Amino acid sequence: MQSTRQAAPPPLAVVAMGGHAFLQSGEDHTIQIHQRNAADISAVLMTLVERGYNLVITHGNGPQVGQLMRQTDMTREEVPPMPLDVLVADTEGWLGYILQQALLNQLRRRNIQRYVVTMVTQVLVDKRDPAFSKPSKPVGRFLSQEEGEAARDELGWDIVEDAGRGWRRVVPSPAPKRVVQWRMIRESALAGHIVIAGGGGGIPIIKNAHDDYEGVEAVIDKDLTSSILAGSIGAELMIILTDVPQVYVNYKKPDQRSLNAVTMDMAEDLVAEGHFAAGSMGPKVIAIQNFLKAGGRRGLITNASTLEAALEGRGGTHFVGRL
Ligand code: ADP
Ligand code: MG
């Protein structure tokens, strides 16, 4: 009798990369540096391709959107300034292009025939999200008090004093509800194409009074968007690549201890005990928890140089429903 058993479909993984994927701290914002870092991270991502994963890649855009905001400010007398949602779209486009090219070069060197596509990704947020009444996410460069107050009075920016380092513009950071393009992202990834999506956390949009989609001047946390996306496309693995090899309890304290494997229950307790800083590791752990709750099988937080070992269980911090 003929076997009717079919080969299991390749597993689907979402990889969320931090800002360091394109710029290490202190590096110049030149195109050459972006290209070099994109080449390095693409070489690392090949370990997932070689293991047969279908891939969706998300990434941050903090420094790049900050730079664009700066350009916009400097030329606003001559060139009509674009709103923040458009600037996010802009960074999705050019960072996607750089990463796409770097990935293609790695694939071509290995004679692997896979396409890479970048999706301009819109992410629905709730216009009643409380974040809109208290803008909290600093964006762009540091300003003097004078510059900050001028921008507030003339441009209507919300500004805050940032820990003695100067003034900064702050914008709302609402929770992502739905990635509008999720089906296209899923279908492309399941067809074997490498999809770059949700860059910078995605372009924040709301449903307006006419029930139409409309962009808003806000930014969405890329880790939270990545977990919503990973859940909706049915990924089995969500990897967060950041600049630390593992997650720690008592981080930067004398009794710091690395975490190898964390269950949902453990993660909940550790979050409640305040081990993960808001705005850095906090959203990553919460993002992975949300992903597991949405049906994901495994989460991994690590850095690029540890990824390969971590996939073999020798490094990184692994998250599972239960042990
Ligand atoms: P990314 O650009 O990848 O989003 P972030 O700077 O937002 O990077 O988050 C990573 C940072 O989180 C690490 O560099 C580390 O300083 C910080 N961090 C805060 N709490 C912890 C923790 N408990 N364990 C590990 N890193 C932590
Ligand atoms: Mg971050």
User: How far, in Å, from the CA of 147 to the mean position of ligand 1?
Assistant: 30
SS3 sequence of the chain: CCCCCCCCCCCEEEEEECHHHCCCCCCCCCHHHHHHHHHHHHHHHHHHHHCCCEEEEEECCHHHHHHHHHHHHHCCCCCCCCCHHHHHHHHHHHHHHHHHHHHHHHHHHCCCCCCEEECCCEEEECCCCHHHHCCCEEEEEEECHHHHHHHHHHHCCEEEECCCCCEEEEECCCCEEEECCHHHHHHHHHCCCEEECCHHHCEEEEECCCCCEEECCCCCCHHHHHHHHHHHCCCCEEEEEECCCCEEECCCCCCCEEECEEEHHHHHHHHHCCCCCCCCHHHHHHHHHHHHHCCCCEEEEEEHHHHHHHHCCCCCEEEECCC
Assess whether the region 9-38+53-134+172-222 and the region 237-323 belong to the same CATH fold: yes
Q: Which residues contact 5 (CB under 8 A, 6 or more apart)?
A: none
Whether the per-residue pLDDT at 76 is higher than 80: the answer is yes
pLDDT of residue 20: 84
Residue recorded with tokens 């967060």: 240
Enter the CATH code of domain 237-323.
Answer: 3.40.1160.10
Residue nearest to atom 25 of ligand 1 (CA): 247
Report the chain's mean pLDDT, rounded to a whole number.
95
User: How far, in Å, from the CA of 19 to the mean position of ligand 2?
Assistant: 7
Q: Is 6 exposed, middle or buried (0-12, 13-18, 19+ CB in 10 A)?
A: exposed
Residue nearest to atom 9 of ligand 1 (CA): 280
Residue nearest to atom 6 of ligand 1 (CA): 280
| pLDDT tens digits for range 191-202 | 999 999 999 999
| pLDDT tens digits for range 173-189 | 999 999 999 999 999 99
The closest ligand to the CA of 280 turns out to be 1
One of 3.40.1160.10, 3.20.20.140, 2.60.40.10, 3.40.50.150 is the CATH number of 9-38+53-134+172-222, namely 3.40.1160.10
CA dist 117 and 97 (Å) reads: 9
Whether the per-residue pLDDT at 46 is higher than 90: the answer is yes
pLDDT of residue 3: 56
Ligand 1: which residues within 6 Å by Cβ?
Answer: 18-20, 60, 242-244, 247-248, 251, 275-277, 280-281
pLDDT of residue 140: 85
Q: Are strands 158-161 and 237-242 parallel, antiparallel or unpaired?
A: unpaired
pLDDT of residue 126: 98
Residue nearest to atom 14 of ligand 1 (CA): 243
Position 9 confidence tier, pLDDT thresholds 50, 70, 90: confident
User: How far, in Å, from the CA of 70 to the mean position of ligand 2?
Assistant: 21
Q: Which residues pair with 196 in a beta bridge?
A: 57, 118
User: How far, in Å, from the CA of 279 to the mean position of ligand 2?
Assistant: 6
Give the residue-averaged pLDDT of 86-102. Answer: 98
The closest ligand to the CA of 19 turns out to be 1
**Phi, psi of 83, rounded to the nearest 5 degrees:** -70, 165
| pLDDT tens digits for range 15-37 | 999 988 999 888 999 999 999 99
Provide the 10 A C-beta neighbour count for residue 127. 14
Q: Where are the domains of the chain?
A: 9-38+53-134+172-222, 237-323
Position 279 confidence tier, pLDDT thresholds 50, 70, 90: confident
Ligand 1, residues 25, 225, 242, 258: which to mutate, most atoms within 8 A of Cβ? Answer: 242
The closest ligand to the CA of 22 turns out to be 1
User: How far, in Å, from the CA of 18 to the mean position of ligand 2?
Assistant: 6
| pLDDT tens digits for range 200-225 | 999 999 999 999 999 999 999 999 99
pLDDT of residue 177: 98
